[in-house]
Amino acid sequence: MKRARESQGLRPPAFAYEGAISAGRATQLYCEAVPLERLAARHGTPLYVYSAAMIRARVNAFARAFHSIPHTLCYSVKANSTLAILRLLAGEGAGFDVVSGGELQRVLRLRPKAASKPKVVFSGVGKTAAEMELALRSGIMLFNIESASELNLLSATATRLQKRAAIAVRVNPDVSTKTHPYISTGLHQHKFGVPIPEAQALYAQAAKQPYLKVAGVSVHIGSQITDVGTFQEALERLADLVRVLREQGHDIRYIDAGGGLGISYDGAQESFAKQIAAYARAVIAPLRGLKLHLLLEPGRSIVGPAGVLLTRVLYRKTNRRKRFLIVDAAMNDLLRPSLYGAYHEIVPVSRKRRTTETTETEITDVVGPICETGDFFARDRKLPPVSEGDLLAILDVGAYGSVLASNYNTRGRAAEVLVDGTKARVIRRRETLQDQVRLEEL
């Protein structure tokens, strides 16, 4: 068996090449025990494929890394909200972090009592009264409050319903992260959170409201962060705030460390076990002696590497010396490269020759059919020669892939398949034109 990333080894147990290269034969890329070529033939392309084994393995890695402290893993639903993925995570004991009423309704679809175990945290800067009411009636664990106005609205809503709301204030620790500016959230110029000095006033205000219960402190400094020292710096500031709040008489039981742990999109990363162990040490160290229940909100680090997007090459094209592979997936299927300039490794599903440093390669752009120059997956990418009709796999798309899909150019959303060992099942069918226009009126 050859791993899809030969230099480092693609993170097992998800995606690997199987079979020996010989005359007239090729190695095939598998998801667990299922060949991806078979899935593309059966379900068409573009097609999202996820590994259940990898998702389970990563949830369990979090549990092992944080075993020394009471904690609850609240998966960040915004990373991938497909119901079957949420059901798989719930089956592994995960709770959920939601940022909208729609995401909470998805969690409630799993089972009516899913929100009240208690395992749901409601984050986000723009909660409406209707969303607050749904969350209160569902009995969620915690509201992460982001402004004085939000605190007032939650108090009024809870009073009207006569249901008590446990709250944490999301503080902005003014910590810089080495990540894309669109997904950095921990500096004072960002819309998220409350400066630490102002947070103390909000806690004092909340303590006076009969239907609000001060319960925790929250932070989230951004996404796709690989420097674990940044997390430690933020948690040290939170720990200091917890001590101050307790001295002021507040019963702080929870500390919500948020999410944001990054993954490698180029394959050059240490094992996830080592990465998560370093992350756990950075988060836990500032909390020693505080006797807190830790809340974690991972998303990308659990589902990101567990998904690939299969796409078929429609055409090869050359403009002077510029080469293009035009594929049937597009920016409406996977927005990250267009939105962030994000890098995703792209590999052939079938390999007829060894892809080593000495093997023939070509420099090409991999682009979609949408009428936008920004519709691309890779620019000036070194790839083995690919023919029209060949399948490509875009790696590490389990997070912020299908969840960001749209109908731009009246394109239907891609189908999604979940693989579990030798079994593969459709968890979202391919969207039709009828699906797209059913809410419209002539």
Burial class of 387 by CB neighbour count within 10 A (0 to 12, 13 to 18, 19+): exposed
- Cis before residue 118, ω within 30 degrees of 0? yes
Asked about 371 being catalytic, the answer comes back as: yes
**For tokens 């039709």, what's the residue?**
432
* 35 beta partners: 30
Burial class of 33 by CB neighbour count within 10 A (0 to 12, 13 to 18, 19+): middle
Q: Using an 8 Å Cβ cutoff, are 19 and 26 in contact?
A: yes
Give CA–CA dist 252/168, Å, rounded.
Answer: 9
Give CA–CA dist 144/122, Å, rounded.
Answer: 6
Q: Which of 268, 371, 439, 442 is the catalytic position?
A: 371
CA distances 210 to 197, 201, 245, Å, are 24, 17, 19
Phi, psi torsion values for 65, nearest 5 degrees: -65, -30
Write out the catalytic residue numbers.
Answer: 371
